[in-house]
């Protein structure tokens, strides 16, 4: 089977997941994103009219103002026309199938779909069915993947650490339910990070997680020892009410990132979080706002990375 993300020239046709994405493509995305970042006077994002006359449809079957906004602003900085569609409340409630919805959007001759969907695999399914001229970007599908989040994380790590081959990275929290974690692990691996750790209680880890090439820790003190990068995960509210966790307070005690726990990491460790943060649950405010936090840089770089992906897709051979 061909890689569903690449065209016959090996160029990026869709961005669906970081799994199986060639390292050359990953590096190309990061390099291109760097051209949109201006560090001369603080961090600035440059505009570029590379998508002039192109239509980007933000097709959100699951509501997410934040993610939708980052894609919208990225597309507008590239001079694209942007159309936002919250599908949740419309066609599907009219009994239309997902396939019919997608066919209709294709027939409107969009150039790019940014898709968020609650079901794993939805973006792949859509990419398989769209016309050849249309590009699909996965903005999060179920528990499966959130590749632009992982790529902006990689950009952030490279910005602060320069290289990947000498890093020790820890991912902390609800790995089991996290599409972000899944995409991060494969991106880190692809880029040659020699040691990726996951730190979580057993109830929040997938079975056979070791098969992903990570080291498993259930204890923060040991798991954070000497790491260069900490990638915190968001704890979904619904987990806290479920059987997976005793209580938010208990969770914070064992897995919340505090200055004390972070002291085990390297001194120049960077702390990241995809947001929105639950302060006092998975992360202490002193860390979130502390000198090692690069959480807001992630947001800025996220615009640049999304611009990079969109402009690569728009420039692809037909």
**Residues in Cβ contact with 19 at an 8 Å cutoff, skipping those fewer than 6 apart:** 145, 182, 183, 186
- For the record, the structure tokens of 300 come out as 């800025």
The strand pairing partners of 281, in sequence order, are none
Nearest distance in Å: CB 69, a second copy = 6
What would the two tokens of residue 163 be?
Answer: 């290289």
Dist CA 310 CA 151 (whole Å)? 13
Cβ nearer to a second copy, comparing 164 with 301: 301
Contacts of 267 (CB under 8 A, 6+ apart): none
- Shortest Cβ distance from residue 89 to a second copy (Å)? 7
> At closest approach, how far in Å is the CB of 28 from a second copy?
23
Q: What is the DSSP string of 70-98?
A: HHHHHHHHTT-EEEEEE-TTTGGGGT--H
Which residue, 94 or 165, is less far from a second copy as judged by CB? Answer: 94
Q: Which is nearer to a second copy, 44 or 163 (CB)?
A: 44
Question: Where do we find the tokens 């208990």?
Answer: 250
Binding residues (CB under 8 A) for a second copy: these are 42-45, 47, 53, 55, 57, 63-66, 69-70, 72-73, 76-77, 81, 83, 85-87, 89-91, 94-97, 100-101, 103-110, 131, 237, 275-279, 296-300, 302-303
Report the sign of the C-alpha dihedral through residues 46, 49, 50, 56, in that order.
positive
Closest separation in Å from C-beta 31 to a second copy: 21
In the bound state with a second copy, the residue whose beta carbon lies nearer, of 166 and 247, is 247
Closest to a second copy by CB, 17 vs 70, is 70
Q: Which residues contact 72 (CB under 8 A, 6 or more apart)?
A: 58, 82, 84
Minimum distance, C-beta of residue 259 to a second copy, in the bound complex (Å): 19
Query: Which of 181, 303 has the CB closer to a second copy?
Result: 303
Reading the block at residue 216, the tokens are 């498993």
Distance CA 245, CA 236 (A): 11
Q: How far is the CB of 21 from a second copy (least distance, A)?
A: 25
* Residue of 193, 192, 188 lying closest to 167 (CA atoms): 193
Measured from the CB atom, is 43 or 50 closer to a second copy? 43
Least separation in angstroms between residue 303's CB and a second copy is 6
Tokens representing 220 are: 């923060």
């Amino acid at each position: 089977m061909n890689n569903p993300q690449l065209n016959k020239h090996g160029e990026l046709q869709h961005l669906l997941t970081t799994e199986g994405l060639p390292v050359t493509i990953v590096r190309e995305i990061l390099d291109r994103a760097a051209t949109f970042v201006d560090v001369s006077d603080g961090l600035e994002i440059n505009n570029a009219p590379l998508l002039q006359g192109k239509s980007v449809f933000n097709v959100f079957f699951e509501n997410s103002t934040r993610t939708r906004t980052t894609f919208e602003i990225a597309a507008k900085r590239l001079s694209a026309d942007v159309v936002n569609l919250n599908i949740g409340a419309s066609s599907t409630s009219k009994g239309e199938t997902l396939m019919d919805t997608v066919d209709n959007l294709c027939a409107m001759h969009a150039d790019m779909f940014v898709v968020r969907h609650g079901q794993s695999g939805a973006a792949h399914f859509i990419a398989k069915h769209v016309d050849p001229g249309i590009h699909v970007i996965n903005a999060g599908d179920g528990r499966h993947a959130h590749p632009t989040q992982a790529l902006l994380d990689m950009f952030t790590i490279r910005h602060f650490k320069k290289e990947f081959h000498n890093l020790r990275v820890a991912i902390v929290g609800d790995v089991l339910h996290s599409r972000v974690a899944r995409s991060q692990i494969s991106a880190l691996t692809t880029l040659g990070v020699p040691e990726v750790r996951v730190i979580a209680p057993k109830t929040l880890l997938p079975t056979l997680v070791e098969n992903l090439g990570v080291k498993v820790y259930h204890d923060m003190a040991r798991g954070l020892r000497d790491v260069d990068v900490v990638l915190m995960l968001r704890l979904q509210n619904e987990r806290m009410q479920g059987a997976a966790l005793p209580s938010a307070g208990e969770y914070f005690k064992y897995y919340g990132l505090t200055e004390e726990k972070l002291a085990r990491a390297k001194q120049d460790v960077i702390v990241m979080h995809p947001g929105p943060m639950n302060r006092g649950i998975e992360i202490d405010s002193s860390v979130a706002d502390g000198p090692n936090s690069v959480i807001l840089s992630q947001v800025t770089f996220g615009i640049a990375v999304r611009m990079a992906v969109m402009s690569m897709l728009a420039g692809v051979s037909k």
